[in-house]
C-alpha cells in the first residue's frame, strides 16, 4: 500500500531513509556510506535512529550542539541522538499535544557498535534538558565512568566492551529529575579468573596499578602487575599506563561525587587486591594422604589474601583444600583434589568480585534515590544499554545469555514495529500488503520454553550431582534434533550450535553446568561474614534476590554448620538471568519506546572506513530494509477515536467536545494535515503527523499564555489603581483633618489672645501627644537601608552599577520574622562549622587561611572585593544553610558559587563535576582549573582588612571553652597575615594562638593524628587517612613474597653459573 499525501521533507541528503525513492539494499548501503564518509554518523528511519560508530572523536556532541537541540524543533535539525533524547523527554512531560507517559530508549547493536557512548550522550542531553544545576544531575552523570571501570573490559573486537547490561531509570517530578535507579544484568564474573588471548580483565585492576602511588600499593598489598596470574602477567605500554592513571583519578572522583565514604573505598580496593593475591595461590599434591597443600612459593600469597580479606589464614586454607560437612552430629572432612582446590579458589574470587560490583550498584541506587513524598506520582525515562550480540572463536555460557538478551530485544522491536502495526491494519480492514520479517519467536521458545527449553534442561542437569557437560549436550541433542534452529556439535570439541537471528553461533559446552550452578565452597560464606573488613562482612551477610540483585539490608537466618550461601540462594545463574530479563521486558512493554540501532562500519575499528560486507550483514539481521518499508508505507501512530478527541479537542476551541469519530474528523479538517486514514475504531497517522499536531497545540498554548498574561495584567492593574485611589483618598482625608485641627488651634489661640489681661496668670502648657518613639530617644527621621556597593541585579551576578534601584522593603512584621529566621539559621551554621569544619580548615600552624572570612554577608563580601583586582576571591561560611560560598571578583561583577559539603566529607562547587577532599584542595584546584561555566581561575586571595567586617567574632568562639591558661596568648606571638589594619592583627593573633594551643594539645594525645591532619591540606596525601584493617599483616606478607621471589631469582642465577664450564667464563 502506498501512503497518500505529502511527506515531511528529508533532513539533508538521505537524512531520513524513509524518504528514499528506490528502496533496496544497494540504495540503503549507498545512503549510509555517503553520510558516514561525510562525518554524518546519524541517520533516521522515520522515528528510529541509526548510529554508526565513527571510531574517532567528532565535533557532533558538544555543549553547543546540545543547546541547539534543546532550543529548536528537532524536525528542523539533522538526525541526532540528542533528538531522540528530546522526544523522550517531552513525551514524558506530555508536551506537544501528548499525554504524560513513561518513556524508554532501547539501544541495540553488536559489540563494538557504540552503545555505551550513545548512552552517555543520551544522559548528557537529558540532564541538559532539565535546565537544572543540582548536584544530583552531576552525580547521575558520574555513574557511567564508575560502572565502566568495574564492568567493562577489553575484548578482541572492542576495547571498552560492556560485560554486563544496565537499565537506568531517571525519575522526574514535573521537569526536574528527582532520582535515579540502576538495574544490572549478568556480570561476566568468569573474566576475573580467565581471559582469552587478546583480551583483558576488568578495567579497574589496570587502573589501580597505574593510578596508585607506591605508598598506596604497599598499603593495599600490590606488587608488580607482571606477578599476577589473574591479569595474565600482562600490563601495557607506558602510554596505556598514563591513560589508565588518568582513568583511575576519574573513578576516584566519581566515587567521591556519587557519595561513597572513604572507608568504603579503601575496603573495596583492599578486597580487589585480595582477589588478585588469591589468584596466585597454587597447589601441589600431599604425598602422605593424597590430599593437596599450598605450594611453598605461594605461602606468602595465601597470607596476603587472608590479610586483605580480613580473615584467618588457616581458615581460608581449609576452605580451599577441604570441605567440612556434618552428618548425624559427626563432622566429616573431605579433602579436595588439585582441580577441586583450584576451582574453589576461582569460585571465591568470582563471587567476591561479583558481590563488590552488586554492592556498588546497590550503593548508587541508595545515594541517588528520590527524596519525595511517596504519594507524588513520578514520571520515568529508562535507558537500556545492554551487551551486544557476540560471536567469538570460543563462545561459552556468558555468550549464550548475552545472545538470549539480544534475541529478546529483537523480538520486542519486531513486536512493536511489525506485529502490532500490521495486526491493526488487518483488524481495521485496511488495504495492506503484508511485510514479512524475520520472526525469532521459535528461537526464544527453544531457549526459554518450559519444561523443555535449553535453560530449563540446563537447570535440570545442574540439579544432578553426577551430571556432566557431556550428559547435558546429549540431552540437548535428543530434545532438539527436530529443531531448525539447533545443530549438534561436530568434531572433538563438546558443543552445539544455535542459529540466531544474527547468524549461526557455535557454543563450547565445557563449564556450562559449573557456571550455571555458581557454587561457593562450603564455610566460605560464614568465614567472610566474620571478616574484620566491614565491607566484606556486609557483602556476605546480604541476600540475593531471584533476579540476582544484592540486597545488603536483608537479614539472613544463619544456621550453624550449614552452607548458608546455598541455603539462601537456590536460584541458578540461568534462572536468575531469566527472571531479570522477564522483569526488564515488563518495564519496556509498559513504556513508550524509542529505538537506537547502532551499526559497526568495520571490524578493524578504523575511522572513515566502511566495510560493505560487515554493514550489510547488520542491515539484514536488524531488518532495516523491512523497517524502512513499513515506516515509509505504514502508519506508526494509531490512536483510538476517544483518545485522539480527548487529546486534541482543544484545536476546535470550544467546550465539551464529544469523544466520537465525527469530532475527530472535525478536528483534522481544522488543520492542514494530509495523508492520514480513518478506520473503523481508530485513526492512522504517519510518524511525522504527531509532531505537526503538537505544533498546532503549542500555538494555542502560546495564545492561552498571552491571554492569561493580558487578563492578569488587567486584573492586577485594576487592583493596583484601586489601592492607589484608596491611598490617595486616605491621604486627602488625613490632610483635611490636619488642616481642620490647625484652623481650630489658630482660632483658639486668637480667642485666648483677645482675653489677655494682667495680672491673669499664664495658662498651663498642654501635655504633648504620645510619640511612637521611646521616651528616652528623640524622634528621628527614617533611615534608609544601607545599600551594597555592588547592587544586586540577578540571583547569581552583581554588576558594578551603582545607579540600580534599591530593593523594596517589606512590612515591619515580615522584617522581624525574617530577622528571627536569619538568626536561627546563622546559629545553626555556626554550630555546624565549629563541630565539623573548624579542625579541617585550620592550617598546620593552627590559624585559618587568609581567604576564609567566616560568616560575613553577601554585601560585605562584595564590598571587600570592590577595589580588588580581577580573580581575587574569598570563601565565607553560608548564613542560610551548612556550607560555604566562594565569592569571585569578575569583570564588572562579582560571582557567588555555592560550595556543598557532601555526606562523605567531600567539597563540591555546585555545577562542577570534581570533588575535593578538603576546602584547601578545592581552592588550589581552581587556581589551576577554571570554574564552570565561565572557566574563571582564582588568583589572589582577599585578606581580612578590619575587625568590623570579619569573622573573628565568629571564629573566636572556638576558644571559649578552653582553660584560662590556654586562652591567654603571649604578646610575642606573631599575628596571622592579613590586611594593613593595626587593630586587626592583634585580634587575629589571639585567635590563632589559642587555636594553635588546641591543635598542639590534641596532637600530643594522638601521635598518628599529625600525619593525618597534614593530609587534610596536602592534596597528594588526602587519600592516606584511612587504612585497611590488617595493614601491618599485608605489609609483612608482601615482604615475605618479595624475599621468596628474590631468593628464587638468586638460585636461578647460581644454577646458570654452575651450568657454565670454566672455559666459557670470561677472564675479565
Catalytic residues: 111-112, 116, 158, 161-162, 388, 390
CB 697 within 8 A of CB 650: yes
What's the CA gap between 191 and 89, in Å, rounded?
A: 37
Nearest to 273 by CA among 190, 315, 212, 319: 212
Residue for cell digits 550455571? 516
What's the CA gap between 120 and 355, in Å, rounded?
A: 25
Q: How far apart are the first and last CA of the chain?
A: 94
**Beta pairing partners, 885:** 876, 898
Residue for cell digits 537479614? 555
Query: What is the edge-to-edge ordering of all strands in the sheet holding 592-599?
Result: 42-45, 48-52, 592-599, 103-108, 379-385, 165-173, 176-185
What's the CA gap between 62 and 57, in Å, rounded?
A: 11
What's the CA gap between 895 and 795, in Å, rounded?
A: 10
Q: 684: helix, coil or strand? A: strand
Report whether the peptide linkage leading into residue 699 is cis, meaning its omega lies within 30 degrees of zero. no
Kindly provide the b/e burial profile for residues 187-222, where b requires at least 16 CB atoms within 10 angstroms of the residue's own CB.
Answer: bbbbbbbebeeebbbbbbbbbbbbbbeeebbbbbbb
What's the CA gap between 680 and 430, in Å, rounded?
A: 9
Nearest to 864 by CA among 786, 789, 956, 800: 789
Report angle CA 1010, 1012, 1013 to the nearest 5 degrees.
65
What's the CA gap between 55 and 870, in Å, rounded?
A: 42
CB 53 within 8 A of CB 601: yes
Residues counted in the chain = 1068
Q: 850: helix, coil or strand? A: coil
3-state secondary structure 654-703: CCCCCCCHHHHHHHHHCCCCCCCEECCCEEEECCCHHHHHHHHHHHHHHH
Kindly provide the b/e burial profile for residues 267-280, where b requires at least 16 CB atoms within 10 angstroms of the residue's own CB.
Answer: bbbbbbbbbbbbbb
**Beta pairing partners, 782:** none
CB 77 within 8 A of CB 83: yes
* Sign of the Cα pseudo-torsion (422, 425, 426, 428, in order): positive
Ranges of H-type helices in 299-337: 299-309, 313-321
Nearest to 358 by CA among 122, 599, 549, 128: 549
Nearest to 632 by CA among 35, 11, 36, 44: 44
Going by DSSP bridges, is the β-strand pair 797-799/161-162 parallel, antiparallel, or unpaired? unpaired
Burial classification of residue 802, based on how many CB atoms lie within 10 Å of its CB (0-12 exposed, 13-18 middle, 19 or more buried): exposed
Going by DSSP bridges, is the β-strand pair 592-599/48-52 parallel, antiparallel, or unpaired? parallel
What's the CA gap between 1032 and 1038, in Å, rounded?
A: 10
| Grid cell for residue 566 | 546455598
Going by DSSP bridges, is the β-strand pair 165-173/379-385 parallel, antiparallel, or unpaired? antiparallel
What's the CA gap between 1052 and 1031, in Å, rounded?
A: 32
What's the CA gap between 139 and 915, in Å, rounded?
A: 11
CB 844 within 8 A of CB 1017: yes
Amino acid at each position: 500500500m502506498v501512503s497518500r499525501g505529502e511527506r515531511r521533507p528529508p533532513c539533508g541528503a538521505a537524512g531520513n531513509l524513509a524518504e528514499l525513492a528506490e528502496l533496496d539494499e544497494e540504495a540503503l548501503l549507498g545512503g549510509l556510506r555517503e553520510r558516514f564518509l561525510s562525518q554524518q554518523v546519524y541517520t533516521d528511519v522515520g522515528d528510529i535512529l541509526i548510529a554508526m560508530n565513527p571510531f574517532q572523536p567528532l565535533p557532533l556532541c558538544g555543549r553547543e550542539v546540545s543547546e541547539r537541540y534543546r532550543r529548536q524543533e528537532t524536525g528542523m535539525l539533522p538526525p541526532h541522538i540528542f533528538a531522540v533524547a528530546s522526544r523522550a523527554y517531552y513525551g514524558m512531560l506530555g508536551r506537544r499535544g501528548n499525554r504524560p507517559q513513561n518513556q524508554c530508549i532501547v539501544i541495540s547493536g553488536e559489540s563494538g557498535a557504540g552503545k555505551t557512548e550513545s548512552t552517555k550522550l543520551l544522559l548528557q542531553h537529558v540532564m541538559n534538558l532539565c535546565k537544572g544545576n543540582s548536584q544530583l544531575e552531576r552525580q547521575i552523570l558520574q555513574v557511567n565512568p564508575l560502572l565502566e571501570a568495574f564492568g567493562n573490559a577489553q575484548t578482541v573486537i572492542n576495547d571498552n566492551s560492556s560485560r554486563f547490561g544496565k537499565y537506568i531509570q531517571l525519575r522526574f517530578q514535573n521537569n526536574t529529575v528527582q532520582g535515579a535507579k540502576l538495574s544490572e544484568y549478568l556480570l561476566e564474573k568468569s573474566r576475573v579468573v580467565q581471559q582469552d588471548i587478546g583480551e583483558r580483565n576488568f578495567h579497574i585492576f589496570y587502573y589501580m596499578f597505574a593510578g596508585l602511588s607506591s605508598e598506596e600499593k604497599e598499603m593495599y598489598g600490590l606488587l608488580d602487575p607482571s606477578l599476577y596470574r589473574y591479569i595474565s602477567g600482562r600490563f601495557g605500554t607506558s602510554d596505556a599506563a598514563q591513560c589508565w592513571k588518568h582513568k583511575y583519578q576519574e573513578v576516584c572522583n566519581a566515587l567521591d561525587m556519587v557519595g561513597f565514604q572513604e572507608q568504603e573505598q579503601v575496603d573495596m580496593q583492599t578486597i580487589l587486591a585480595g582477589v588478585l593475591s588469591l589468584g596466585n595461590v597454587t597447589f601441589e599434591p600431599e604425598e602422605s594422604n593424597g590430599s593437596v597443600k599450598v605450594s611453598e612459593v605461594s605461602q606468602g600469597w595465601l597470607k596476603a589474601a587472608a590479610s586483605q580479606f580480613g580473615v584467618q589464614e588457616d581458615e581460608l586454607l581449609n576452605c580451599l583444600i577441604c570441605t567440612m560437612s556434618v552428618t548425624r552430629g559427626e563432622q566429616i572432612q573431605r579433602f579436595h583434589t588439585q582441580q577441586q582446590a583450584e576451582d574453589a579458589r576461582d569460585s571465591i574470587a568470582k563471587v567476591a568480585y561479583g558481590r563488590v560490583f552488586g554492592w556498588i550498584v546497590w550503593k548508587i541506587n541508595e545515594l541517588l534515590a528520590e527524596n519525595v513524598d511517596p504519594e507524588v506520582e513520578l514520571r520515568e525515562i529508562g535507558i537500556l544499554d545492554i551487551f551486544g550480540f557476540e560471536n567469538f572463536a570460543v563462545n561459552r555460557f556468558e555468550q549464550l545469555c548475552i545472545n538470549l538478551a539480544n534475541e529478546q530485544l529483537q523480538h520486542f522491536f519486531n513486536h512493536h514495529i511489525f506485529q502490532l502495526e500490521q495486526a491493526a491494519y488487518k483488524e481495521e480492514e485496511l488495504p495492506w500488503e503484508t511485510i514479512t520479517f524475520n520472526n525469532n519467536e521459535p528461537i526464544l521458545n527453544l531457549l526459554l520454553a518450559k519444561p523443555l527449553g535449553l535453560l530449563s534442561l540446563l537447570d535440570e542437569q545442574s540439579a544432578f550431582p553426577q551430571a556432566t557437560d557431556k550428559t547435558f549436550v546429549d540431552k540437548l541433542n535428543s530434545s532438539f534434533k527436530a529443531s531448525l534452529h539447533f545443530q549438534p556439535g561436530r568434531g572433538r570439541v563438546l558443543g552445539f550450535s544455535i542459529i540466531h537471528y544474527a547468524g549461526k553461533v557455535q557454543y563450547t559446552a565445557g563449564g556450562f553446568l559449573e557456571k550455571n550452578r555458581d557454587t561457593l565452597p562450603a564455610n566460605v560464606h560464614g568465614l567472610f561474614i566474620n571478616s574484620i573488613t566491614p565491607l566484606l562482612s556486609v557483602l556476605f551477610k546480604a541476600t540475593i534476590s531471584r533476579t540476582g540483585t544484592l540486597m545488603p539490608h536483608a537479614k539472613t537466618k544463619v544456621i550453624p554448620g550449614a552452607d548458608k550461601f546455598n541455603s539462601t540462594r537456590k536460584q541458578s545463574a540461568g534462572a536468575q538471568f531469566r527472571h531479570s530479563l522477564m522483569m526488564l521486558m515488563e518495564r519496556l512493554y509498559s513504556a513508550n519506546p524509542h529505538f537506537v540501532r547502532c551499526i559497526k562500519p568495520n571490524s578493524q575499528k578504523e575511522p572513515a572506513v566502511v566495510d560493505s560486507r560487515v554493514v550489510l550483514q547488520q542491515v539484514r539481521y536488524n531488518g532495516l530494509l523491512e523497517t524502512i518499508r513499513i515506516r515509509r508505507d505504514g502508519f506508526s501512530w494509531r490512536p483510538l477515536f476517544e483518545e485522539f478527541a480527548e487529546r486534541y479537542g482543544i484545536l476546535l476551541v470550544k467546550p465539551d467536545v464529544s469523544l466520537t469519530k465525527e469530532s475527530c474528523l472535525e478536528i483534522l479538517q481544522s488543520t492542514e494535515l494530509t495523508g492520514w486514514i480513518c478506520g473503523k475504531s481508530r485513526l492512522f497517522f504517519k510518524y511525522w503527523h504527531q509532531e505537526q499536531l503538537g505544533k498546532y497545540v503549542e500555538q494555542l498554548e502560546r495564545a492561552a499564555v498571552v491571554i492569561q498574561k493580558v487578563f492578569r495584567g488587567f486584573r492586577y492593574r485594576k487592583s493596583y489603581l484601586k489601592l492607589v485611589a484608596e491611598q490617595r483618598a486616605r491621604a486627602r482625608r488625613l490632610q483635611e483633618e490636619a488642616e481642620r485641627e490647625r484652623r481650630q488651634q489658630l482660632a483658639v489661640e486668637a480667642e485666648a489672645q483677645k482675653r489677655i489681661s494682667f495680672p491673669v496668670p499664664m495658662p498651663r502648657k498642654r501635655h504633648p501627644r504620645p510619640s511612637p518613639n521611646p521616651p528616652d530617644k528623640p524622634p528621628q527621621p527614617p533611615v534608609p537601608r544601607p545599600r551594597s556597593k555592588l547592587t544586586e541585579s540577578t540571583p547569581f551576578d552583581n554588576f558594578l552599577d551603582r545607579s540600580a534601584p534599591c530593593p523594596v522593603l517589606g512590612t515591619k512584621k515580615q522584617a522581624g520574622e525574617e530577622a528571627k529566621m536569619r538568626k536561627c539559621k546563622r546559629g545553626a551554621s555556626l554550630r555546624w562549622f565549629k563541630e565539623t569544619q573548624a579542625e579541617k580548615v585550620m592550617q598546620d600552624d593552627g590559624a585559618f587561611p587568609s581567604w576564609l572570612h567566616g560568616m560575613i554577608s553577601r554585601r560585605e563580601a562584595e564590598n571587600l572585593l570592590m577595589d580588588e583586582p580581577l580573580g581575587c576571591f574569598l570563601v565565607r561560611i553560608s548564613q542560610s544553610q551548612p556550607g560555604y560560598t566562594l565569592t569571585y571578583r569578575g569583570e564588572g561583577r562579582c560571582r557567588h558559587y555555592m560550595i556543598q559539603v557532601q555526606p562523605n566529607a567531600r567539597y563540591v562547587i555546585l555545577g562542577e563535576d570534581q570533588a575535593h577532599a578538603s576546602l584547601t584542595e578545592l581552592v588550589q584546584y581552581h587556581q589551576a582549573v577554571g570554574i564552570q561555566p565561565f572557566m574563571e581561575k582564582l588568583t589572589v586571595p582577599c585578606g581580612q582588612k578590619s575587625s568590623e567586617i570579619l569573622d573573628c567574632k565568629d571564629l573566636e568562639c572556638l576558644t571559649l571553652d578552653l582553660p584560662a591558661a590556654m586562652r591567654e596568648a603571649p604578646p610575642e606571638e606573631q599575628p596571622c597575615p592579613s590586611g594593613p589594619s593595626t587593630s586587626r592583627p592583634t585580634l587575629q593573633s589571639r585567635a590563632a594562638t589559642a587555636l594553635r594551643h588546641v591543635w598542639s594539645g590534641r596532637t600530643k594525645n594522638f601521635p598518628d593524628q599529625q600525619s593525618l591532619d597534614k593530609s587534610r591540606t596536602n592534596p597528594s596525601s588526602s587519600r592516606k587517612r584511612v587504612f585497611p584493617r590488617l595493614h601491618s599483616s599485608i605489609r609483612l606478607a608482601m615482604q615475605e613474597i618479595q624475599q621468596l621471589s628474590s631468593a628464587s631469582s638468586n638460585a636461578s642465577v647460581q644454577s646458570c653459573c654452575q651450568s657454565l664450564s670454566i672455559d666459557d667464563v670470561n677472564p675479565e
